[in-house]
Amino acid sequence: MLSERGAGKGGGNLEIRTNGEDMNEVVGLERRVVDSFAGLRKVLAVGSRNRRIRETRLNEHSSRSHSVLQVHVKRRKVQRDGSAVVVESKLSLVDLAGSERWGAAEQPGKGRGGDHFGEMTNINQSLTTLGRVITQLSEGQTHGLCYRESKLTRVLQDSLGGNCITIVIATLAPTPQAAEESLYTVKFADRARRVKQNVFLNERKEVGAGGEVDVGRYEREISRLRKELQNERKKAQAA
């Protein structure tokens, strides 16, 4: 994960840390406030310009990096008793770079360059970790998940195993040369559809001047404990 080109000291690696609410956050990531769809499109255009694109044997404009757009929405509704209910939502739009073998990812007429090979290796490693996490979740695992082995899975942790509705769109190339990669994609999509999510409204109630009750936090804890109980029952039945 890199910062914006030309920003700071030239765009170095961005660190991911776990905050006090046990959520992963990207240190130094810029947030922009928008109040219209047009404003959102402008922000998206900035991110698209910074995305790495290269020509490969299979694609003239191949994405050499993943793209994640996160939209945070906060709504506050005042009640008759003077308290307020705050609902917070997050929409993550993720465009993954394609997994390619070196022979296909190599630029026409060029050898195994260090930058190109490094990009392909990083992409494939992050996609492999994502596949492992999806496999673990599809099998009902709740502990020992390998989120921390990739920045991609750390950023998407709450989208994969958290309180959310997740939609995965798998795309295939209609060519014989891509048959092997297409098979991997279909298997990945099949595992992803087996992942079960427990979704509830992420809200908290403000009860006065400064005081508030985080309803969502207690609901998340209840959901987590229910998952653990279900897994323990399955283990007991299989024993």
Strands 67-78, 62-63: pairing kind = unpaired
**CB-CB contact of 14 with 26 (8 Å):** yes
Nearby residues of 108 by Cβ (< 8 Å), 6 or more positions away: 55, 57
Give the position of tokens 């009902």.
140
pLDDT confidence of residue 132: 93
Beta bridge partners of 68: 94
Taking CA atoms, 1 is separated from 14, 26, 58, 104, 111, in Å, by: 6, 9, 25, 24, 26
Identify the architecture of domain 45-238 in CATH.
3-Layer(aba) Sandwich (3.40)
Parse the chain into domains and list their residue ranges: 45-238
pLDDT confidence of residue 1: 44
Q: Is the dihedral of CA 11, 95, 128, 139 positive or negative?
A: positive
Q: Give the Cβ contact number of residue 129 at 10 Å.
A: 19
Q: Per residue of the chain (239 residues), what is the pLDDT tens digit?
A: 445 554 444 455 778 888 776 778 888 777 888 888 898 888 888 877 777 666 555 555 556 678 888 888 888 888 777 778 888 888 888 888 876 664 554 554 454 555 666 777 788 888 899 999 999 999 988 888 899 898 889 988 888 887 888 899 998 888 888 888 889 889 999 999 999 887 877 777 766 545 555 566 666 778 778 888 888 887 888 77
Please give the Cα distance from 164 to 162 (Å, whole number). 6
